[in-house]
Structure 1
Amino acid sequence: MRDLFVRYARADWPLFVLGVVTSVLGRFVSLAPPLVLGVAIDATFNDDVPYTLPYVPSEWLPTTQTEEVVFSVGLVVAALVGSVLFTWTNGAALSLFSNRVQHYIRVDSYEAMQRLDMAFFDDKQTGQVLAILNDDVRNLRMFLGSTVSSALQLVATVLGIAFILFTLNWQLALVTLVFVPLLAVFTYWFMRTIRPRYRALRASIGDLNTRLENNLDGMEVIKTAHTETHETDRIRETSWEYYLRTWAVAKLEYLYQPSMDLLAGLAFAVTFLLGGLWLVGGAPGPFTGTLLVGEFVTFLFMTQRFVDPLSGVGRIVNSYENARASGERIVGLVSRPVEVRDREDSVVRETVEGHVEYDDVTFSYRSDRPVVRNLSFAADAGDTIAFVGPTGAGKSTAAKLLLRLYEVDSGTIRVDGVDVRALALDSLRSNVGYVSQDVFLFDGSVAENVRYGSFDATDEEVEAAARLAEAHAFVENLPEGYETRVGERGVKLSGGQRQRIAIARAMLQNPAILVLDEATSSVDTETELLIQRGLARLTADRTTLVIAHRLSTVKDADLILVVDDGEVVERGTHDELLDHGGLYATLWNVQAGAEATEEFIAEVVARADRGT
Structure 2
Amino acid sequence: MSGVDWDDDDPFEEQRENIDSPMKRLLFEYGRPYWGSVTAGITGSVLARLLDLIPPILLGVAIDAIFLQDKPFSVRFVPDGWLPTDSTGQFTFTVVIIALSFLVGAAFHWVRNWGFNSFAQDIQHDVRTETYDKMQRLDMEFFADKQTGEMMSILSNDVNQLERFLNDGLNSAFRLGVMVVGVGVVLFTINPQLALISIAPVPLIAAFTYVFVKKIQPKYAAVRSSVGNVNSRLENNLGGIQVIKASNTEGYESDRVEDVSRNYYDTNWGAINLRIKFFPGLQVLSGIGFVLTFFVGGYWVFQGAPGPFTGTLDVGEFATFILLTQQLVWPMAQFGQVINMYQRAEASSERIFGLMDETGRIEQDAGAEPLDIETGRVEYDDVTFGYTDEETIIDDISFDVPGGETVALVGPTGAGKSTVLKLLLRLHDTDEGAIRIDDQDIREVSLSSLRQSMGYVGQESYLFYGTVEENITYGTFDADREEIVAAAKAAEAHDFIENLPDGYDTMVGERGVKLSGGQRQRVAIARAVLKDPDILILDEATSDVDTETEMLIQRSIDELTADRTTFAIAHRLSTIKDADQILVLEGGRIVERGTHDELLENGGLYSHLWGVQAGEIDELPQEFIERAQRRHARTEISDD
Match of 1:71 in 2: 93
* Local SS of the residue matching 2:555: helix
Given the alignment of the two structures, is residue 497 of structure 1 paired with residue 540 of structure 2, yes or no? no
* Local SS of the residue matching 2:614: helix
TM superposition score normalised by structure 1: 0.94
Match of 2:182 in 1: 160
Match of 1:116 in 2: 138
Given the alignment of the two structures, is residue 130 of structure 1 paired with residue 152 of structure 2, yes or no? yes
Match of 1:607 in 2: none
Residues 283, 333 of structure 2: 8 Å contact kept: yes
Residues 4, 331 of structure 1: 8 Å contact kept: no
Given the alignment of the two structures, is residue 244 of structure 1 paired with residue 266 of structure 2, yes or no? yes
Residues 345, 422 of structure 1: 8 Å contact kept: no
Residues 465, 508 of structure 1: 8 Å contact kept: yes
TM superposition score normalised by structure 2: 0.90
CA–CA distance in structure 2, aligned partners of residues 188 and 323 of structure 1 = 17
Match of 2:484 in 1: 462
CA–CA distance in structure 2, aligned partners of residues 353 and 456 of structure 1 = 26
CA–CA distance in structure 2, aligned partners of residues 185 and 288 of structure 1 = 31
Match of 1:369 in 2: 391
CA–CA distance in structure 1, aligned partners of residues 465 and 616 of structure 2 = 36
Greater Cα offset, 172-181 or 92-101: 92-101
CA–CA distance in structure 2, aligned partners of residues 80 and 350 of structure 1 = 69
CA–CA distance in structure 1, aligned partners of residues 374 and 311 of structure 2 = 93
- State how 1:124-273 maps to structure 2 within 5 Å: 124-273=146-295
Q: Which amino acid aligns with 2:167?
A: G
The offset of 1:45, in angstroms, is 4.8
CA–CA distance in structure 1, aligned partners of residues 448 and 440 of structure 2 = 15
The offset of 1:377, in angstroms, is 0.8
Deviations 1:372-406 (A, max 9, x none): 11111111101222211111121111110111111
Q: Which amino acid aligns with 1:371?
A: I
The offset of 1:569, in angstroms, is 2.1
- State how 1:418-433 maps to structure 2 within 5 Å: 418-433=440-455
Residues 352, 416 of structure 1: 8 Å contact kept: yes
Greater Cα offset, 496-505 or 41-50: 41-50
Aligned residues: 595
- State how 1:9-48 maps to structure 2 within 5 Å: 9-45=31-67, 47=69
Deviations 1:87-107 (A, max 9, x none): 122112322332232222222
CA–CA distance in structure 1, aligned partners of residues 212 and 569 of structure 2 = 58
CA–CA distance in structure 2, aligned partners of residues 126 and 97 of structure 1 = 29
Residues 490, 498 of structure 1: 8 Å contact kept: yes
- State how 1:336-351 maps to structure 2 within 5 Å: 336-349=358-371, 351=373
Deviations 1:223-281 (A, max 9, x none): 11111111111111111111112101110111110001100111101111111222232
Q: Structure 1 residue aligned with 2:435, among 413, 417, 423?
A: 413
Q: Structure 1 residue aligned with 2:574, among 552, 572, 587?
A: 552
Deviations 1:331-365 (A, max 9, x none): 22223224323212211136442111111111111
Q: Which amino acid aligns with 2:134?
A: A
Deviations 1:146-187 (A, max 9, x none): 211111000000000110111111111111112111111111
CA–CA distance in structure 1, aligned partners of residues 559 and 260 of structure 2 = 50
Greater Cα offset, 350-359 or 369-378: 350-359
The offset of 1:63, in angstroms, is 2.5
Match of 1:608 in 2: none
- State how 1:385-464 maps to structure 2 within 5 Å: 385-464=407-486
The offset of 1:594, in angstroms, is 9.0
* Local SS of the residue matching 1:276: helix
Q: Structure 1 residue aligned with 2:113, among 79, 84, 91?
A: 91
Match of 1:279 in 2: 301
Match of 2:16 in 1: none
Q: Which amino acid aligns with 1:18?
A: A
Q: Which amino acid aligns with 2:484?
A: V
Given the alignment of the two structures, is residue 528 of structure 1 paired with residue 520 of structure 2, yes or no? no
Greater Cα offset, 67-76 or 244-253: 67-76
Match of 2:540 in 1: 518
Closer, same or farther in 2 for the Cα pair 1:452/1:288, shift >3 Å? Answer: same
Closer, same or farther in 2 for the Cα pair 1:594/1:55, shift >3 Å? Answer: farther
CA–CA distance in structure 1, aligned partners of residues 211 and 143 of structure 2 = 38
The offset of 1:587, in angstroms, is 1.3
CA–CA distance in structure 2, aligned partners of residues 259 and 380 of structure 1 = 78
Residues 352, 431 of structure 1: 8 Å contact kept: no
Q: RMSD across aligned C-alpha pairs, in angstroms?
A: 1.7
Closer, same or farther in 2 for the Cα pair 1:48/1:224, shift >3 Å? Answer: closer
Match of 1:599 in 2: none
The offset of 1:413, in angstroms, is 0.7
Residues 341, 425 of structure 1: 8 Å contact kept: no
Closer, same or farther in 2 for the Cα pair 1:129/1:62, shift >3 Å? Answer: same
* Local SS of the residue matching 1:593: coil
Residues 161, 345 of structure 2: 8 Å contact kept: yes
Closer, same or farther in 2 for the Cα pair 1:270/1:469, shift >3 Å? Answer: same
CA–CA distance in structure 2, aligned partners of residues 474 and 100 of structure 1 = 45
* Local SS of the residue matching 2:567: strand
The offset of 1:47, in angstroms, is 4.7
Q: Which amino acid aligns with 1:545?
A: F
Q: Structure 2 residue aligned with 1:301, among 313, 323, 331?
A: 323
* Local SS of the residue matching 2:388: coil
The offset of 1:214, in angstroms, is 1.8
The offset of 1:308, in angstroms, is 1.2
Unmatched segments (≥5 aa) in structure 1: 596-612
Identity of aligned pairs, percent? 51
CA–CA distance in structure 2, aligned partners of residues 57 and 117 of structure 1 = 71
The offset of 1:305, in angstroms, is 0.5
Match of 1:609 in 2: none
Residues 290, 329 of structure 2: 8 Å contact kept: yes
Closer, same or farther in 2 for the Cα pair 1:523/1:590, shift >3 Å? Answer: same
Closer, same or farther in 2 for the Cα pair 1:434/1:390, shift >3 Å? Answer: same
Residues 470, 533 of structure 1: 8 Å contact kept: no
Residues 373, 437 of structure 2: 8 Å contact kept: no
* Local SS of the residue matching 1:2: helix
Match of 1:107 in 2: 129
Residues 487, 530 of structure 2: 8 Å contact kept: yes
Deviations 1:198-222 (A, max 9, x none): 1111111111112112222221111
Given the alignment of the two structures, is residue 593 of structure 1 paired with residue 615 of structure 2, yes or no? yes
Greater Cα offset, 361-370 or 563-572: 563-572
* Local SS of the residue matching 2:443: coil
* Local SS of the residue matching 2:500: coil
CA–CA distance in structure 2, aligned partners of residues 278 and 566 of structure 1 = 92
Residues 559, 573 of structure 1: 8 Å contact kept: yes
Residues 384, 396 of structure 2: 8 Å contact kept: yes
CA–CA distance in structure 2, aligned partners of residues 588 and 559 of structure 1 = 16
Residues 393, 563 of structure 1: 8 Å contact kept: yes
* Local SS of the residue matching 1:312: helix
Deviations 1:302-347 (A, max 9, x none): 1100111111122211111111111112222223224323212211
CA–CA distance in structure 2, aligned partners of residues 213 and 67 of structure 1 = 70
Q: Which amino acid aligns with 2:202?
A: V
CA–CA distance in structure 2, aligned partners of residues 115 and 474 of structure 1 = 35
The offset of 1:479, in angstroms, is 2.4
